[in-house]
Amino acid sequence: MKKRVFIAVLMILCLCAQSVFACTIFAVGKNASDDGSTMISHTCDSTGDDLRLWMIPEMPAGEARDIVLDGRAGADYSQFPAVKDYGTRGMALAEYVPEKETNRYIHAMYSFMNDKGLAMGESTCSINGNIDQGKKIRAAYREYDGIIDCYMIQDLALENCATAREAVEFMGALIDEYGWNGSPECINICDGNECWIMECYGAHVWVAARVPDDAVFVAANRARINFFVEDDPENYLYAPDLKNFVAKYDLWDGTDWSTFIPCWTFAPYGYRPYSTRREWRAMSLLNPELGATLDPEEQNPDTAWPCFVVPSEPVSVQTVYEICGDYYAGTEYDVSASIWGGQFGDALNCAQDFTQRAINSYRCTYVQIANVKAWLPEDVRCLVWYGCGASDTNFLTPLFGSMTELDPMFTHGLRSEYDPSTIWWTSALVQQLSRINYKMAREDIHAKRDGIMDAQYEVTAAIQDQAAKLIKLGEKDKAVALLTNYANSQARMWKGVWDELTGELITKYMFGAVNMNTRSAQYTDFWNALNASEWGQYK
């Protein structure tokens, strides 16, 4: 790894800019999936995330690359690297010089797929500063001025790496050299063969574990690697100075490293319903038998819960997508069955931020589900399913890390300015309209969406096979053009469907009625019971 000296004299410590720590992530091993692929997913849930996607082209070996801190707010990567616009807060603090030509990749709030089929997501973790361990670890981190944040480390890894293991080693080396900046992060990574989880805690400390091929990992804004293995580099990696760091700051009083719990030591939180309840729900849906043994009110999940879960049935993209759209329906935590959900069971009510935080969130910027098939050529296997807004009411459209261009609906748009030409605002409008009568509107949305998506899964696989044949014939450019044209055409198709759906929802549910007939409205069982008791006493 070649690098140049710091170009900043004054080091400024910044935290990653997020309005709320809110992401849920999954990683699915190849033997746990229904098609032999590996999968990772990320619901990027925040009211402050950038809406835009860009394709970052390959860059030549030996060309210096800025290491930028906090380079997202207001940044414009549409002409990168010819034009380097790092936004209102971005600071170029060092330079990295790649030894080989870099990869093409999809740049987002958190960049997520390259043309080699390497994919990743993230979930920002918290530290409980009110407990002794939290106070100790926060004090320790404050002694280090790192400059690598989660945005930058994912950009650099996608630019320079082809496999999940290579990405872990590469990112670990960056943290070892430059130090971590920002809150702890749990990063899920896959490449078609392997899935890895890497937790970047602070200072120069990180731990990474390979997800068993037959298992699934889930995290919800909480560090989760709860075991430590010293001599198994095939499946477990960690910062070279980890043990010295633990000793220096008196973070653990044990001697048997097989009992060491990294997540508790470096990002202690434990019981946190905002996070743990999402994890409990996901594990319960993946394996109901296991779920029956897990307590959603567990006070010590780091020791009581497994890090990985073996699913009861093979997991598909649709399985992950449906869990991303879950709001505890049918459980005592159902966010639609409360006073906050109103008479129509609004599962997108903002009260879930302080009541029952569900995986399906009203403030989701995007959801991405990478579906990487190692047996296909690199430029073909790099498939990611992408949707904007809450998963229960949006759609997924296929994108490829090898695409040469993205439709303009992806590349522009601001939260502060309504723009119906963008994919985000198109989805956001349907999402908001569904809240007029969520109980019935979601059925209309699913009826409109599900059949198209079922067909799209099949057609996309066929398009991938056709592109693979072209590459075998030596026609790589034609293969990439096929994938580019297909993905953009699917996005345009979906926009047309959703524009049509917008009009249907407005017409049908205006004023909370059904086709202007208030007698046709169907209230939830909760609301009917509440009304029958003359509003009762709700707590």
**Alpha-carbon span 499 to 395, nearest angstrom:** 13
pTM: 0.95
SS3 of residue 499 by DSSP: helix
pLDDT of residue 20: 53
Instruction: Please provide the DSSP assignment of 299-322 as one string.
Output: S-HHHHS-SSB--SS-B-HHHHHH
Averaged pLDDT for residues 114-125: 98
Is 59:249 a contact under the CB 8 Å cutoff? no
| Residue range 373-416, pLDDT digits in tens | 999 999 999 999 999 999 999 999 999 999 999 999 999 999 88
Taking each helix axis from N to C end, the angle separating 273-286 and 317-324, rounded to the nearest 10 degrees, works out to 150
518: confidence class by pLDDT, cuts 50, 70, 90: confident
pLDDT of residue 355: 86
Is 28:216 a contact under the CB 8 Å cutoff? yes
Beta bridge partners of 76: 85
Element holding 272 (H helix, E strand): none
Tell which residue, 355, 5, 15, 342, has the closest CA to residue 180: 15
**64-68, 262-266, 269-273, 463-467, range with the lowest pLDDT:** 269-273
Residue positions counted in the chain = 539
**Alpha-carbon span 280 to 242, nearest angstrom:** 29
pLDDT of residue 520: 75
Question: Is it the case that residue 179 has pLDDT exceeding 60?
Answer: yes
Instruction: Please provide the DSSP assignment of 423-469 as one string.
Output: HHHHHHHHHHHHTTSHHHHHHHHHHHHHHHHHHHHHHHHHHHHHHHH
**Alpha-carbon span 332 to 337, nearest angstrom:** 9
> Which phi and psi (to 5°) does residue 98 adopt?
-70, 145
Q: Locate tokens 């973790």: which residue? A: 125
More confident residue, 46 or 207: 207
500 contacts: CB under 8 Å, gap ≥ 6? none
Instruction: Please provide the DSSP assignment of 179-227 as one string.
Output: -B-SS-EEEEEE-SS-EEEEEEEEBTEEEEEEPPTT-EEEEESS-----
Is 398:383 a contact under the CB 8 Å cutoff? yes
| Residue range 308-365, pLDDT digits in tens | 999 999 999 999 999 999 999 999 999 999 899 999 999 999 988 888 999 999 999 9
Question: Is it the case that residue 13 has pLDDT exceeding 80?
Answer: no
**Alpha-carbon span 424 to 363, nearest angstrom:** 12
| Residue range 433-489, pLDDT digits in tens | 999 999 999 999 999 999 999 999 999 999 999 999 999 999 999 999 999 999 999
User: Mean pLDDT of all residues in the chain?
Assistant: 93
Q: Which two tokens stand for residue 449?
A: 């969406």
Element holding 397 (H helix, E strand): strand 397-400
pLDDT of residue 533: 73
Is 189:169 a contact under the CB 8 Å cutoff? no
Cα 61-64-67 angle, rounded to 5 deg: 125
Beta bridge partners of 401: none
Q: Give the max Cα distance, the chain.
A: 73
pLDDT of residue 18: 38
8: confidence class by pLDDT, cuts 50, 70, 90: very low
Is 325:392 a contact under the CB 8 Å cutoff? yes
Query: What residues does each domain of the chain span?
Result: 2-40+53-315
| Residue range 129-175, pLDDT digits in tens | 999 999 999 999 999 999 999 999 999 999 999 999 999 999 999 99
